[in-house]
Amino acid sequence: MTNTPAPESKIIELRQVQQRFHARGAAGGYLTAVDDATFDLTSEPPQVISLVGQSGSGKSTIARNILGLQKPTAGTITYNGQDIYRLSRAASDDYRRNVQPVFQDPYAIFNPFYRVDRVLQTAVKKFRLAKTPQDGLELIKESLEAVRLDPEQVLGRYPHQLSGGQRQRIMLARIHMLRPAFVIADEPVSMLDAQVRKAFLDILLDFQETYRMTTLFITHDLSTVHYLGGDVMVIHRGVIVERGKVSEVMTRPKHSYTAQLLASVPIPDPNRRWKDRINLAEVEAEEEEGAATVAPDPEQAGRLS
Ligand SMILES: Nc1ncnc2c1ncn2[C@@H]1O[C@H](COP(=O)(O)OP(=O)(O)OP(=O)(O)O)[C@@H](O)[C@H]1O
Ligand SMILES: [Mg+2]
């Protein structure tokens, strides 16, 4: 089943990935956050794949599974044919370098007591990107400029002294330095306004072309999916119900849930907007009925959103 990749191409394969969590009140005492997720991420040609679905549908769980933070209950995730949860030291280093996260709130991974230069020097050291701190600084400046940040302005600042858009661009600068084959972006633009959001997406699309990066882009926002183009996977209650080209899925959805999701997007037609918006509320109400109380997992607390 595993494809053997060409030497320069890298591949992440998910096969029947399932993630269960203990949940009080749920049938059998657990809930299935992800069920039977099977898809590939390939580095050649680089692609953007959006994973779209509403809150609680299992998107972040899949991201954590791929990032090696949450071992699935069943199924496999392989990197170039090897199980990512049983990689040798060398293969694991390769994976950590080549599969980079971008999260909604970079505060979660910024040390608040470190200035931006130190945050980025940490990545330089960890991944041995430069021989000397001076070379490291040159690299950092180059990467900040690549994401249109002024090094003089941001290097000496603490994370809280930056705007949300600037903080997210620091994460992009980090990606620029590391040049991973894969970026796993979990709602990276949800907290940004439309203009800053567009700038972020443009940089990501530019990286895809210039540095041949493949991105799994998690969002609940269909306009972002539309802007990114490429492929989209629709996830509903832990199950990927539809996958295809964005243009096709958005014009001819095959699954009723995709159609509902599309119908909930406010469109610039005053006669349709409110009627259509109500649909998502109905979907959400249905979801609530089937929802279970989730027992907190202390291991995961405070890790990632
Ligand atoms: N560590 C955990 N322990 C128990 N349940 C969890 C855990 N992590 C996630 N869940 C549950 O799994 C389901 C999927 O959660 P997940 O965070 O993947 O959703 P999501 O699609 O990312 O939602 P959002 O759009 O709100 O970020 C939810 O019901 C959630 O409560
Ligand atoms: Mg999430």
pLDDT digit string (tens) for 159-202? 889 988 999 999 999 999 999 999 999 999 888 889 999 999 99
Q: CA–CA separation, 223 vs 293, rounded Å?
A: 31
pLDDT above 70 as % of the chain: 83
Query: Residues with beta carbon inside 6 Å of ligand 1?
Result: 21, 31, 33, 53, 55-61, 220, 294, 297, 300
* Residue nearest atom 12 in ligand 1 by C-alpha distance: 33
pLDDT at 276: 41
Question: Do 86 and 170 touch, CB atoms closer than 8 A?
Answer: no
Q: CA–CA separation, 160 vs 243, rounded Å?
A: 39
Q: CA–CA separation, 212 vs 43, rounded Å?
A: 7
Record: fold of 11-290: Rossmann fold (3.40.50)
The model's pLDDT over 196-252, given as tens digits with 9 standing for 90+, comes to 999 999 999 999 999 999 999 999 999 999 999 999 999 999 999 999 999 999 999
Going by C-beta distance under 8 Å and a sequence separation of 6 or more, which residues neighbour residue 75?
14, 15, 16, 17, 18, 36, 37, 38
- Single-letter residue type at 149: L
* Residue nearest atom 6 in ligand 1 by C-alpha distance: 21
Q: Measured in angstroms, how far is the CA atom of residue 19 from the centroid of ligand 2?
A: 14
Mean pLDDT of 121-134: 93
Q: Say yes or no to pLDDT of 88 above 70.
A: yes
Q: Measured in angstroms, how far is the CA atom of residue 57 from the centroid of ligand 2?
A: 8
Q: Measured in angstroms, how far is the CA atom of residue 67 from the centroid of ligand 1?
A: 15
Q: 287 or 123, which is more confident?
A: 123
Q: CA–CA separation, 289 vs 64, rounded Å?
A: 26
